[in-house]
Amino acid sequence: MTETTLANAKLVLPTEVIHGAIRIENGHITAIDSGATVPAGAIDCEGDLVMPGLIELHTDNLERHIEPRPRVNWPHASAIIAHDGELASVGITTVFDALRVGSVVSNKKANYGEYARKLADEILDLRAKGALRISHFLHLRAEVCSETLIEELAKFGPDDRIGIVSLMDHTPGQRQFRDLTQLRAYVCGKHGLSEAEFESHVADQVALSARLGTAHEAAAVSESRRFGAVLASHDDTTAEQVAISARHGAHFAEFPTTIEAARACRDHGTLVMMGAPNLIRGGSHSGNVAAHKLAEADLLDIVSSDYVPSALLSAALMLGDLWGDVARGVRTVTQAPGRAAGLTDRGHLDMGARGDVIRVARVAGAAALRGTWVQGRRVG
């Protein structure tokens, strides 16, 4: 039995910001009142923003904790707990932990092996033991250009809390790696390949995609339905690719690389998600379309922290400033991702909604988190 009241706050409601107080009892919002009164026992927020906890659909942060340096493997339980704590500390209260499925094992140098099933078991076990502060779901990143995707997907089932399956296709020469210069820098830097080895790697991956890509894509779409998961596309570049993703039933598009693709998403009713680091830095680190250009063109619906967890909150406030609408900016990291992933019980300050909230101050234009509550219990 818990009761938490945050008062004298700027409450970021779904479509407006009001000065008031919010009460959470037994995990859910039970009262939203306007005014500056601070009831006995309430937390005086001193005019800070109080908004829903952030919902993260795609983050590489867990991978960074598991492998803090190339080929340095960290104990998984410690890594998962540290990842969970870091997210709580930046206002994320629900996360879809992104795990790659589909490996390349035949290439002796540029290879990567299976890890998702074991890591998923460890995440779910820690969750069951109450070791995690925030709410965790799984996001399976289905690598179409791989050798083992079908076998790896078969090891998962409907009871594994899989909320999202995304169609990942890193075939050289298209999507994210349409520019082989970017791919060369990434692969050679990570695996230490010579130019001849890189050319061989590209040829092998293109042949692999030609041989298995169609079957892998179909399997990922089918398995997402078996899991009861939402399907997402990834790195769509052309209107044709968006149309294919839409036919597969993709609910949202992760990081479309061109404005053409983003406009095609709007035509098909597919939500567009972009990375917070892209927005904050003013452009894509890999040369793709800038997130702020999509925001200015009214083509941006959801924001993901991608590889910088703290960027999610800052990006929401930046968008609020850009649009002149704080509530709209906050929706891109709360209600919009929640709905895209099929979670309607959180991400909005409404009566009866799940009591995941954060308190935020703006200091010199930056977002300073003052507290994180999950179902009314303080976790950060």
| 85-114 as b/e: b if 16+ CB within 10 A | ebbbebbbbbbbbbbbbbbbeebeebeeeb
Convert the pLDDT of each residue in 74-114 to its tens digit.
999 999 999 999 999 999 999 999 999 999 887 655 567 89
Question: What mean pLDDT do residues 10-25 have?
Answer: 98
Convert the pLDDT of each residue in 274-313 to its tens digit.
999 999 999 987 778 999 999 999 999 999 999 999 999 9
Q: Count the neighbouring beta carbons within 10 Å of the beta carbon of residue 297.
A: 13
Lowest mean pLDDT among 64-78, 98-112, 150-164: 98-112
pLDDT at 59: 95
Q: What is the CATH number of domain 54-345?
A: 3.20.20.140
pLDDT at 17: 98
pLDDT at 172: 65
The alpha-helical segments, DSSP class H, found in 228-281 are 239-248, 259-268, 276-281
* β-strand partners of 28: 25, 354
Question: What mean pLDDT do residues 151-179 have?
Answer: 86
* β-strand partners of 58: none
CA 349, distance to chain mean position in Å, is 21
Longest CA–CA span in the chain (Å) reads: 72
Q: Compute the distance between CA of residue 347 and CA of residue 333 in angstroms, rounded to an integer.
A: 8
pLDDT at 176: 66
Q: How does DSSP classify residue 229?
A: P
Q: Is the pLDDT of residue 340 over 60?
A: yes
pLDDT at 38: 96
pLDDT band at 63 (very low <50, low <70, confident <90, very high): very high
Unique residue bearing structure tokens 């050798």: 147
Convert the pLDDT of each residue in 243-257 to its tens digit.
999 999 999 999 999
Could you give the count of Cα atoms lying within 13 Å of 298 in the half-sphere of its Cβ?
A: 2
Unique residue bearing structure tokens 């008062």: 7
| 180-209 as b/e: b if 16+ CB within 10 A | eeebbeebbeebebeeebbeebbeebbebb
Q: Compute the distance between CA of residue 55 and CA of residue 86 in angstroms, rounded to an integer.
A: 14
What are the residue boundaries of the structural domains of the chain, listed by start? Answer: 1-52+347-380, 54-345
Average pLDDT, the chain: 92
Determine the topology of domain 1-52+347-380 in CATH: Urease, subunit C; domain 1 (2.30.40)
